[in-house]
Structure 1
Amino acid sequence: MTIARANHDSGAAGPDRSAALVAALAQIQLSGAIFLRGEYTESWAYESLPSKDAAAVLAPEAVRIVLFHVVVSGSCWVEAGSHKVWAHDGDVIVLPYNDQHRMGGHEAAELVPITQLVDPPPWTEMPHIVHGLGGARSEVVCGYLTCDDRLFDPHMGVFPPVFVVTPPEGPVRSWIRASSDLVLQQTSQVTDDRLAAPTDIPQLLLREVLKLHLANAPAADTGWLAALHDPVVAPALAAIHGDPARKWAIADLAREATVSSTVLDERFRTVLGLAPIRYLTGWRMHVAEDLLRSTTLPVTAIARRVGYESEEAFSRAFKRDHGAAPSVWRVAR
């Protein structure tokens, strides 16, 4: 069975936006490591630990944990809740809220709990899963980072529960692959129950991946990340991100922020450079892009998820924003 590669979040943004994102992401404090290597052969599938259990194993003192998987070779699907994506060699899978997830290959397989594949800590060496029935092979390197920034607050809804970034061909893609290999080589045992692994490389890797993913977010170059921390704008953003399908009016958003409509409008224009309803439209298009790229949902279902009662109305709005109808844009991607 052949699965066509989707572009996912491929390619970087223009110089100005990219520079702004690099500067903003540099302020976010991250800490973590690569902690697992998996070799899977068709057919195979597993389910991760529940979120709380994974946090207790990886970083019990952390406020928030971000999981990521680098697909070194082969391909696989990852599913968190009802959100399912495919990833291929060179792609990076991100689970920004440490959601329990499932992962598998092309062929149908029994879902195995990861506790059957990995011994419990403490580990005397980096866990190495070898799992499957001996068919086509996929290799995945897994890591985590901790961060208390509101960018990763699930209530803000900045990200889908799982997304895939496809680095563009060239230095970035090669660097991600080489960095994963380097971390695996440099991980070593320092005591009977503790491993030491480079932490700076996973931080750089995730920053680059987030830059690629966020490049198309509305107003990313005019303070979008800063808006997540603004006491007036942030509650309204959380409301929009949490339920983009709702028929939001500026008065509704103002109530979420406990300010007047005038104050909210002024603050949005100051921080983000655009009005709240214009931001809402931009965010709906951002969510629609992600759903068109990474899922097989029909256009009608995507239209409903982003607040349009009819496919026709959604298609008109999408074409105004992207220059092509959703179905045409999806095929081109």
Structure 2
Amino acid sequence: MDRDILSDVLQAVRLKGALFYLVEAAPPWVVTAPSAQEVAAAVMPGCDHVMEFHAFFEGECWGGPLDHPQERIRAGEIILFPRGDPHVFRSAPDIPPPPPTMSRQGSVPIRLRLGGSGAPAARFVCGFLGCDARPFNPLIEALPRMLRIPAQEGPLDALMRLAVAETTSPRAGGEALRARLAEMMFVEAVRTHLAALPDGTGGWLGGLRDPQVGRVLGLLHGQPAHPWALDDLAREAGLSRTVLHERFAALVGHPPMQYLARWRMQLAASRLAQGSDKVVSIAMEVGYESEAAFNRAFKRLLGMPPAAWRRERGARA
């Protein structure tokens, strides 16, 4: 895979990190987090989609989505909730969870003490990540509800240690550094997850690793404005039209030409949100021959014309 498709997507969906919590918990303890959608406006204003992650650097606990069986979490692990599910962590699996709440006390980074009066038995930092969910975010669709990255030596461990240091002893520039750390930890966690996927795994991430489908994804991402036809892509992949169509759709979830149309819309939406370029210029850049054709395609996918969408996003931000 010559094209760095993962970076393409992360840039186009405007990944953005946010604040940290430092949690120190003494047994018995339990904490629940509401769905990210409920707190998105407070923690990441203007973001379509919010994810929460937790880096456990001391002790053990049980946790997971509220409607799933709980798993044992150990020190050194990083837990992400890419879909923004409400979730719970607790010192023992039989402690009933309270209703989900979100503390907003104090200045960032926020330090929370949970449970009994004894010495903390578990310590972890929590952060948020925001990104675009619409018009098209293939990465979020491809990740599990709970992404669990085991303890390991290497870049992710180093990033976790730095996050802990910047949360326990904040210094000048800490807010900016913590935001970047959240983004870097997410990217490294996704790369770790991708590397660990078994051969034959389906989904968009599996498509990146497939020689033929990955080749086609690289072409679509490398030249999104090119007037691609299925025949062209099949020839580049060394497959027949039918085999490419079926294989691409089975792995990625969309046929090649539908994927291209959605990816063009995501690129266009990112440009609309970030700048003041004319709609016709953006339309040409993503492969449309006329502003009218682009407007129709954009409205069909997002329910409103590009100019109205830009105004609505600006008001939200």
Preserved contact between residue 33 and residue 143 of structure 1 (Cα < 8 Å): yes
Q: Name the SS for the 1:39 alignment partner.
A: strand
Equivalent position of 1:238 in the other structure: none
Q: Assess, with a 3 A threshold, how the Cα gap between structure 1 residues 173 and 200 changes in structure 2: closer, same or farther.
A: closer
Among 26, 33, 37, the alignment partner of 1:52 is 37
- Identity over aligned residues, as a percent? 18
Cα distance, 1:224 vs structure 2 = 5.6
Preserved contact between residue 186 and residue 197 of structure 1 (Cα < 8 Å): no
1:145, 1:84 → 2: CA distance? 23
Preserved contact between residue 77 and residue 84 of structure 1 (Cα < 8 Å): yes
Preserved contact between residue 43 and residue 135 of structure 1 (Cα < 8 Å): no
Q: Assess, with a 3 A threshold, how the Cα gap between structure 1 residues 104 and 151 changes in structure 2: closer, same or farther.
A: farther
State the TM-score, normalized to the length of structure 1.
Answer: 0.54
Equivalent position of 1:214 in the other structure: 194
1:78, 1:176 → 2: CA distance? 22
1:69, 1:229 → 2: CA distance? 36
Preserved contact between residue 24 and residue 120 of structure 2 (Cα < 8 Å): no
TM alignment of 1:1-333, pairs within 5 A: 23-27=4-8, 28-29=10-11, 30-80=15-65, 81-82=67-68, 84-106=70-92, 108-113=94-99, 115=101, 118=103, 120=104, 123-133=106-116, 134=118, 137-148=121-132, 150-153=137-140, 156=141, 158-168=142-152, 170-184=153-167, 187=170, 196-198=175-177, 199-215=179-195, 216=197, 217=201, 218-222=206-210, 265-269=243-247, 276=250
Preserved contact between residue 34 and residue 197 of structure 1 (Cα < 8 Å): no
Preserved contact between residue 151 and residue 157 of structure 2 (Cα < 8 Å): no
Aligned letter for 2:25?
Answer: Y
Equivalent position of 2:257 in the other structure: none
Q: Assess, with a 3 A threshold, how the Cα gap between structure 1 residues 135 and 164 changes in structure 2: closer, same or farther.
A: same
Q: Name the SS for the 2:70 alignment partner.
A: strand
State the TM-score, normalized to the length of structure 2.
Answer: 0.57
Could you tell which deviates more after superposition, 101-110 or 136-145? 101-110
Q: Deviations over 1:29-58 (max 9, x none)?
A: 321124211011121112212333221221
Cα distance, 1:212 vs structure 2 = 1.0
Q: Assess, with a 3 A threshold, how the Cα gap between structure 1 residues 178 and 46 changes in structure 2: closer, same or farther.
A: closer
1:219, 1:141 → 2: CA distance? 33
Cα distance, 1:83 vs structure 2 = 5.1
Cα distance, 1:279 vs structure 2 = 8.5
Preserved contact between residue 34 and residue 183 of structure 1 (Cα < 8 Å): no
Q: Assess, with a 3 A threshold, how the Cα gap between structure 1 residues 38 and 64 changes in structure 2: closer, same or farther.
A: same
Q: Assess, with a 3 A threshold, how the Cα gap between structure 1 residues 226 and 57 changes in structure 2: closer, same or farther.
A: farther
In the comparison of the two structures, how many residue pairs are matched? 215
Give the structure with the larger helix fraction.
2
Preserved contact between residue 79 and residue 162 of structure 1 (Cα < 8 Å): yes
> What RMSD, in angstroms, separates the aligned Cα atoms of the two structures?
3.6
Q: Assess, with a 3 A threshold, how the Cα gap between structure 1 residues 173 and 64 changes in structure 2: closer, same or farther.
A: closer
1:108, 1:60 → 2: CA distance? 36
Q: Deviations over 1:64-111 (max 9, x none)?
A: 112110001111222212253332111100100111111112363342
1:180, 1:135 → 2: CA distance? 22
Q: Deviations over 1:1-35 (max 9, x none)?
A: xxxxxxxxxxxxxxxx8x97xx3332213211242
Q: Deviations over 1:246-268 (max 9, x none)?
A: xxxxxxxxxxxxxxxx9663235
1:226, 1:90 → 2: CA distance? 37
Q: Assess, with a 3 A threshold, how the Cα gap between structure 1 residues 49 and 268 changes in structure 2: closer, same or farther.
A: same
1:225, 1:97 → 2: CA distance? 28
1:226, 1:44 → 2: CA distance? 50
For structure 1, the 5+ residue unaligned runs are: 1-16, 231-261, 281-333
Equivalent position of 1:320 in the other structure: none
Runs (4 or more) in structure 1 with deviation over 4 Å come to: 185-190, 223-230
